[in-house]
Amino acid sequence: MSYLLGIDLGTTYTAAAVLRTRGGEAVGEPEMVGLGAHGSEMPSVVLDGEDGSLLVGDAAERRAMVEPDRVAREFKRRIGDPTPVSLGTGALPAEELAATVVRHVVDTAAAREGGMPERIALTHPASWGGHKLELLRSALDPALEGLGAPQVEFLAEPQAAAVCYAAAERVEPGSTIAVYDLGGGTFDSAVVRKDAPGSGTGGFTLLGRPEGLEFLGGVDFDEVVFEHVRAGAGDAFAGLDESDPAVWAAVARLRRECREAKEGLSSDTEVSVPVWLGGAQTVVRLHRSEFEELIGPRIEDSVEALRRAVDSAGLDPSELSSVLLVGGSSRIPLVAQTVSERLDRPVAVDADPKNAIAKGAALAMLPRHAASWPAVEVPVQRAVPEESDVERTGPIETVALSFQDAPTERFAAVALLEPATRIAAAPVRPGFTGTSSYVTQDTGPQRGTDNRARWLVGAGGLAGALAIVAAVLLWPTAAVTLDGASARSIVPDTGAAPTTSAPPAPAAPAAPSTEPHQGATTNRATDPTKRPAAPAPAVIPPVAPAPAAPKAPTAPAAPAPVVKDPVKVPPKDDTSKEPTTPVDPCKPTDGSTPPASCTATPPAPAAGS
């Protein structure tokens, strides 16, 4: 199966995507090629081995830890510079180093897919001119010679990003999109316009003059974090031997920690960077607000470059459909915030900003028919066959089917039944008229023909609601009280007044009061002025009345002596008085005659005793 290969040669990382095709049509979606040991991308690093071989990617990164003088990084920035890049004992032009990376990517994709790609697209910054592109092409031709690979095509990075964005989102023809591409080492901005179907221009056209900053990207932000850590580590960097390979390895490890800390600030508000250099061990903290303050001026520079690109296209920011953010460094929260505030336009962040350009490069090479990929016209079957509504979808072949179409050679093996045969095969509902259009509503009984059941259900519901309302309004809320006669007939006569939970009434009857006693319930149906002789109404509690509690617990006392005349006897529970002296029967105090058993003459009764 043939395939298309899109390559995104970045300053710090390189990525590639393949799009399989069959008969000029895409099969599935673009897939990333596994270039790195732990992911789809690989470092844009080249190392010159002692044996004269060139190592690329992760292998060069590992060897660079112990042979730092033989490695070349960020050479994409040097393309066009006549000064070669120092590499070990020799030097190579930057474009040849870039061609070496492209050769490695083509070999890796060919080994995975089992053959050379049908077409290859290599992306480049939109600000590159013809001189840099010609230098790169002159280095690619000898690098790919003998592989049987096709000639490499060039595509501007903003165009590739826009194609990838249009593959996932609906972009109408004529829409203008501002692309903000902040990668690992360069910044590019451009304005593209979605072409009309069938224009044959590749889907998007660059408007105006692209703007960019060649020395602005993720590596510059890594350096900012590294300098912050260096300032906060104190004397950890003092006295280091720069010729010691162990020191080089420790510094390289620290730079990797700074890069991971920068990436971590995109999802966290604070990070910690461990510093292990020589005998010093410390930790430097960095807050997101500090990081944004450090890189804020550079982000402002990138937004100003984007505004210049919009102005060169003869547009006002309000005329932009959206602003597309691509590139790994565009995930920094400050980027989206600043772009949205300065341009006052909606910002679209690609779901996979690191790989969007590689996928877009592969999609941009897909052959187009009557429409510019990724949108072609596909008929949508409706209830009325004469309608010609269309749906915008991916690049699939247009096939119009209807029940009246005769079998073609392509579908010769499929037995198409006539409409009458299909209808007869299904049970026919009574009243079916045999129409060939789709039925969207059941043609059952018409409304209003039989509403008796509905009336019965409604009347029953209304009656139930009225019953509930009546129960709520008429349900008694006070305790039931009875008059005196009724109370006497219900409460048994125990020789004492009925006991209630209220305090006992005084011995003498008090004048009737119109205010209810605390704890008692007023009988509103009884008029005390018409029935003066009736006792106070008694409240019948819901449970049996409890006996009155004694005033104070006392020990049991002996029964009081029985006397003839009612005399005042101290209460049994009155312990405040002294006990009385026993009465001598031979010395009566009431003037009576002593009994005969008393032999002595009784003395005269004492006065006042």
The per-residue DSSP string of 408-447 comes to -STTTTS-PPPHHHHHHHSPPPTT-----SPP-S---SPT
The confidence band for 167, taking pLDDT boundaries of 50, 70 and 90, is confident
Q: Which residue has the higher pLDDT, 138 or 243?
A: 138
Q: Do 76 and 10 meet the contact criterion of CB atoms below 8 Å apart?
A: yes
Q: Which residue has the higher pLDDT, 215 or 488?
A: 215
The confidence band for 390, taking pLDDT boundaries of 50, 70 and 90, is very low
pLDDT at residue 301, as a whole number = 95
Q: Which residue has the higher pLDDT, 42 or 1?
A: 42
The confidence band for 190, taking pLDDT boundaries of 50, 70 and 90, is very high
Q: Given the structure tokens 């053959």, which residue do they identify? A: 115
Mean pLDDT of 284-306: 96
What is the per-residue burial (b if ≥16 Cβ within 10 Å, else e) of 178-216? Answer: bbbbbbbbbbbbbbbbbbebeeeeebbebbbebbbbbeb
Q: Given the structure tokens 């019965």, which residue do they identify? A: 456
Dist. CA 516–CA 219, nearest whole Å = 90
Mean pLDDT of 24-49: 91
Number of residues that make up the chain: 609
List the domain range (segments joined by +) for residue 100.
2-171
Dist. CA 354–CA 329, nearest whole Å = 9
The count of structural domains within the chain is 1
> Where does 4-93 have alpha helices with state H?
58-63
pLDDT at residue 88, as a whole number = 81
Dist. CA 545–CA 529, nearest whole Å = 29
The confidence band for 52, taking pLDDT boundaries of 50, 70 and 90, is confident
Measured in whole angstroms, the distance separating CA 449 from the mean position of its chain's CA atoms is 52
pTM for the model stands at: 0.59
pLDDT at residue 599, as a whole number = 54
pLDDT at residue 584, as a whole number = 65
Q: Do 141 and 106 meet the contact criterion of CB atoms below 8 Å apart?
A: no
What amino acid is encoded at 82 in this protein? P
Tokens of 554: 């006392």
The pLDDT tens digits of the residues spanning 473-485 come to: 887 664 444 444 4
What amino acid is encoded at 324 in this protein? L
The answer for residues whose C-beta is within 8 angstroms of residue 481's C-beta and 6 or more apart is 521, 523, 525, 526, 537, 539, 540
pLDDT at residue 66, as a whole number = 82
Residue 587 lies in a domain: no
SS3 for 497-520 is CCCCCCCCCCCCCCCCCCCCCCCC
Bridge partners (DSSP) of residue 18 are 5, 31
> What average pLDDT does the structure give for the chain?
74
Tokens of 296: 């804020």
pLDDT at residue 595, as a whole number = 67
Dist. CA 374–CA 353, nearest whole Å = 19
Return the H-helix or E-strand segment holding 177: strand 176-182
**DSSP class of 123:** E
The pLDDT tens digits of the residues spanning 550-592 come to: 454 444 544 554 444 444 445 544 444 445 555 666 666 666 6
Mean pLDDT of 166-192: 89
The confidence band for 517, taking pLDDT boundaries of 50, 70 and 90, is very low
**Beta strand pairing status for 54-56 and 45-48?**
antiparallel
Share of the chain above pLDDT 90, in %: 41
Of 395, 324, 348, 350, residue with least CA distance to 4:
395
Q: Which residue has the higher pLDDT, 272 or 549?
A: 272
Dist. CA 161–CA 180, nearest whole Å = 9
Mean pLDDT of 245-265: 90
Measured in whole angstroms, the distance separating CA 166 from the mean position of its chain's CA atoms is 25
**Beta strand pairing status for 187-194 and 54-56?**
unpaired
**Beta strand pairing status for 71-73 and 45-48?**
antiparallel
Q: Which residue has the higher pLDDT, 112 or 531?
A: 112
Residue 463 lies in a domain: no
The pLDDT tens digits of the residues spanning 68-100 come to: 889 999 999 999 999 999 988 889 999 999 999
The confidence band for 246, taking pLDDT boundaries of 50, 70 and 90, is confident
Mean pLDDT of 125-151: 91
Q: Which of 211-220, 300-309, 467-476, 566-575 has the highest mean pLDDT?
A: 300-309
Q: State the CATH number of the domain containing residue 126.
A: 3.30.420.40
pLDDT at residue 126, as a whole number = 84
Residue 78 lies in a domain: yes
What amino acid is encoded at 557 in this protein? A
Between the CA atoms of 226, 231, 232 and 237, what dihedral angle is there, to the nearest 10 degrees?
80
Tokens of 604: 């005269």
pLDDT at residue 6, as a whole number = 97
Q: Do 547 and 500 meet the contact criterion of CB atoms below 8 Å apart?
A: no
pLDDT at residue 378, as a whole number = 28
Q: Which residue has the higher pLDDT, 434 or 16?
A: 16
Q: What share of the chain is helix, strand, coil (3-state, %, to 5)?
A: 30, 20, 50
Bridge partners (DSSP) of residue 4 are 19, 119
Dist. CA 346–CA 339, nearest whole Å = 9
Q: Do 483 and 523 meet the contact criterion of CB atoms below 8 Å apart?
A: yes
**What is the SS3 assignment for 572?**
coil
Residue 88 lies in a domain: yes
Q: Which residue has the higher pLDDT, 117 or 167?
A: 117
pLDDT at 280 over 50: yes
The answer for residues whose C-beta is within 8 angstroms of residue 41's C-beta and 6 or more apart is 10, 13, 14, 15, 35, 354, 355
The mean-pLDDT minimum among 17-31, 43-57, 550-564 falls in 550-564
